[in-house]
Amino acid sequence: MKPILELKNLSVSYTPGKNAVDDVTTDIYPNTITAIMGPSGCGKSTLLRAINRMHDLYPHIRTTGEILLKGKNVLEMDAMKVRRLVGMVFQQPNPFPTMSIYDNVLAGYSLNGIRLKRREKDEIVEQSLKSVALWDEVKDVMSKRGSFLSGGQQQRLCIARTLAMRPEVLLMDEPTSALDPISTNKIEELLLELKKQFTIIVVTHNMSQAARISDNSMFMYLGELIEHGNTTQMFTKPKNKRTEEYLTGVFG
Amino acid sequence: MKDKLFRFVLFFAALMILLLSAGIIYSLVSRSLDTFNEYGVWGFISNAEWDPRKATEEYGALSFIVGTLYTAFFALLICIPFSLSVALFNGEYFKGTKVASAVSSVVDLLAGIPSIVFGLWGFYSVRPIVIALGVNAQGFGIFLSSIVLAIMIIPYASSLSTEFISMVPNNMKEGAYSLGATRLEVIRRISFPTASSGIVAAYILALGRALGETMAVTMLIGNTDRIPSGLRGTGNTMASVIANQFGEADGLKLSSLIAIGLILFIITAIINLIAKMVMKRLSKV
């Protein structure tokens, strides 16, 4: 199978000469969930945010190397286009407070100035909300503001908003760390369902979460990719000593 | 013991301020009673005639109320594009940079220039331009005073709007960027709507400043006691008519000027109250 995403010698630095992500080369395959783990400050969020060019928003951050999405280097594409192809879900649920639930789902379209017919809108909203299992809960309160929902519902709304753009890859930066266990559970189940259609990369602090949902795992330490492989294998027989130490709680 | 004394001092100071405000209102009301008895409150407010000649003496505030609203709202209209640009520059595009702090200090400096200096500048520098533009022969009037007034209120409108725009949470903006939005769209659809009530409050406060501004307007508006004929016309605001005429006024005329002062006070108080209410609603969100 061909990888959907290839990272080649990817480095990211906040201050010149000091790489927060250091020379990472690896492949990610379609319809898998990849968990990125590692201690705080190891560069896992920085790596994730490089993939959809979020670093472009901050001029002092430098990204070098290549990120190939289906063979095309995203670092050379138009950043707005990249972000439509590579969706992102954040740690804190961030629905747009001035928009209704309905408009939140369609925010990607309205923000890009794409006009849709009423019927298309209804269809996208219903389909996106159904795919995050939120439709039944909100179908009668569509005109309420996004901030009216609970934290877990808000996060699923944010996932729906991203899915509405039909991205190739879904990036998630600790998507459940601000949520209670029940909401976390729902999101995890959701991810297992979503990987049938999308490729998901999720940064997580929670090792058991990585073990539960991911097919492959990446372990990062001090900006370097230490190990990347099958999750079950990595959790039972890690190849690298530092991976083993991290997973067994010696440090982290 | 010391603690008790300190509390007493604080209490006394607070009470003095309350008494002082009450005293100002009392003297305004009591001295304007003659006028209100003569014409009735509504009769005074709705009458556009201002005729101090003893034989045909008659006083009404309408010309000045209209003049005030005219200049203040026109000034606000001129001020909006400039202060909004400053707010976006400082609160969004160059947030936290040296350029932004330089720009905001310069804008704040505008707030520190005395009104009379603005008046002089308007008189000698802006008036010739207004004449050259062919607005009217003398240059004086609503147009000239609104332009100068607009510059005077820019710092008030922009510094508060900057604050509210820079308060829009970063994760909200990143959420929009992550969906492929451009910076302009993020500003238009996320930053502005989120900060809108704060920005509205900023403009209401700026309007309050414009309504009460006296010296510069008095020097530039032309001082005619009629409802202004339009943007090109001359007129008087409530503040400028008081500044212009209180020195030689007595009897019913003085009482009428004080009544105008009372109305101006009430209008600005209401404007400030509305601004506070809008901001309170914002902080609840």
Question: Which tens digit of pLDDT belongs to each residue from A147-172?
Answer: 889 999 999 999 999 999 999 999 99
The reply to whether B40 and B111 lie within a common domain is: no
Q: Report CB contact under 8 Å: B174, A161.
A: no
Burial of A18 (0-12, 13-18, 19+ CB in 10 A): exposed
Looking at residue B2, its pLDDT comes to 84
| A187/A153 Cα distance (integer angstroms) | 10
Measured between CB atoms, does A153 come within 8 Å of chain B? Answer: no
Q: How close does chain A come to B154, measured CA to CA in Å? A: 27
Smallest Cβ–Cβ distance between B180 and the set A97, A98, A108 belongs to: A108
Looking at residue B283, its pLDDT comes to 62
Looking at residue B209, its pLDDT comes to 92
Measured between CB atoms, does A11 come within 8 Å of chain B? Answer: no
Neighbours of B53 (CB within 10 A): 7
B190: closest chain A residue by CA: A96
> Does residue A39 fall inside a structural domain?
yes
Residue whose token pair is 């407070």: A97
Number of domains in chain A: 1
Measured between CB atoms, does B97 come within 8 Å of chain A? Answer: no
> Does residue A138 fall inside a structural domain?
no
Measured between CB atoms, does B251 come within 8 Å of chain A? Answer: no
User: φ and ψ at A143, to 5 degrees?
Assistant: -85, -5
> Does residue A53 fall inside a structural domain?
yes
> Does residue A216 fall inside a structural domain?
yes
Number of domains in chain B: 2
| A207/A174 Cα distance (integer angstroms) | 12
> Does residue A109 fall inside a structural domain?
no
Domain that holds residue B243: 62-284
ipTM: 0.92
Q: What residues contact residue B162 under an 8 Å CB cut-off, 6+ apart?
A: B86, B87, B90, B91, B104
Looking at residue A161, its pLDDT comes to 95
Looking at residue A248, its pLDDT comes to 85
The reply to whether B49 and B143 lie within a common domain is: no
The reply to whether B125 and B263 lie within a common domain is: yes
For the record, the structure tokens of B198 come out as 């704060």
Tens-digit pLDDT profile for residues A94-144: 999 889 999 999 999 999 989 999 999 999 999 999 989 899 999 999 999
Q: Which of A161, A12, A58 is nearest to A100 (CA)?
A: A161
Position A221 confidence tier, pLDDT thresholds 50, 70, 90? very high
Position A197 confidence tier, pLDDT thresholds 50, 70, 90? very high
In B, which residues are within 8 Å of A80 by CB distance?
180-182
The reply to whether B221 and B165 lie within a common domain is: yes
> Does residue A225 fall inside a structural domain?
yes
Tens-digit pLDDT profile for residues B212-227: 999 999 999 999 999 9
> Does residue A133 fall inside a structural domain?
no
| B14/A26 Cα distance (integer angstroms) | 69
The reply to whether B161 and B99 lie within a common domain is: yes
Tens-digit pLDDT profile for residues B52-61: 888 889 999 9
Whichever domain contains B133, its CATH number is 1.10.3720.10
Smallest Cβ–Cβ distance between B182 and the set A52, A80, A108 belongs to: A80
Give the CA dihedral A11, A16, A18, A19, nearest 10 degrees: -10
Q: Report CB contact under 8 Å: B176, A165.
A: no
B93: closest chain A residue by CA: A57
> Does residue A180 fall inside a structural domain?
yes
User: φ and ψ at B190, to 5 degrees?
Assistant: -115, -60
Measured between CB atoms, does A157 come within 8 Å of chain B? Answer: no
The reply to whether B106 and B177 lie within a common domain is: yes
Whichever domain contains A29, its CATH number is 3.40.50.300
Looking at residue A147, its pLDDT comes to 84
Q: How close does chain A come to B77, measured CA to CA in Å? A: 25
Q: Report CB contact under 8 Å: A54, B177.
A: yes
Q: Report CB contact under 8 Å: B181, A111.
A: yes
For the record, the structure tokens of A70 come out as 């289906």
Q: How close does chain A come to B11, measured CA to CA in Å? A: 42
The reply to whether B69 and B48 lie within a common domain is: no
Domain that holds residue A228: 5-98+167-247
Tens-digit pLDDT profile for residues A33-44: 999 999 988 999
Q: Which of B166, B151, B153, B142 is nearest to B226 (CA)?
A: B142
Burial of A60 (0-12, 13-18, 19+ CB in 10 A): exposed
For the record, the structure tokens of A159 come out as 């996932």
Position A250 confidence tier, pLDDT thresholds 50, 70, 90? confident
For the record, the structure tokens of A15 come out as 């201050």
In A, which residues are within 8 Å of B182 by CB distance?
80
The reply to whether B130 and B17 lie within a common domain is: no
The reply to whether B172 and B240 lie within a common domain is: yes
Angle subtended at Cα A127 by Cα A122 and Cα A131, rounded to the nearest 5 degrees: 150
Looking at residue A252, its pLDDT comes to 58
Residue whose token pair is 């097919």: A215
| B88/B275 Cα distance (integer angstroms) | 21
Q: Report CB contact under 8 Å: B171, A90.
A: yes
CB B114 within 8 A of CB B97: no
B196: closest chain A residue by CA: A98
The reply to whether B119 and B38 lie within a common domain is: no
Looking at residue B95, its pLDDT comes to 86
Smallest Cβ–Cβ distance between A96 and the set B190, B196, B285 belongs to: B190
The reply to whether B88 and B169 lie within a common domain is: yes
For the record, the structure tokens of A231 come out as 């999750």
Chunked in runs of 10, what are the mean pLDDT values of chain B (285 residues)?
A: 90 95 95 94 94 89 95 96 94 89 92 94 95 91 95 93 92 94 92 90 92 93 92 93 92 95 94 88 63
The reply to whether B196 and B93 lie within a common domain is: yes
What is the percent of chain A with per-residue pLDDT over 70, rounded to a whole number? 99
Q: Report CB contact under 8 Å: A83, B179.
A: yes
Looking at residue B284, its pLDDT comes to 55
Secondary structure of chain A in the HEC alphabet? CCCCEEEEEEEEEEECCEEEEEEEEEEECCCCEEEEECCCCCCHHHHHHHHCCHHHHCCCCEEEEEEEECCEEHHHCCHHHHHHHEEEECCCCCCCCCCEHHHHHCHHHHHCCCCCCHHHHHHHHHHHHHHCCCHHHHCCCCCCEHHHCCHHHHHHHHHHHHHCCCCCEEEEECCCCCCCHHHHHHHHHHHHHHCCCCEEEEECCCHHHHHHHCCEEEEEECCEEEEEEEHHHHHHCCCCHHHHHHHCCCCC
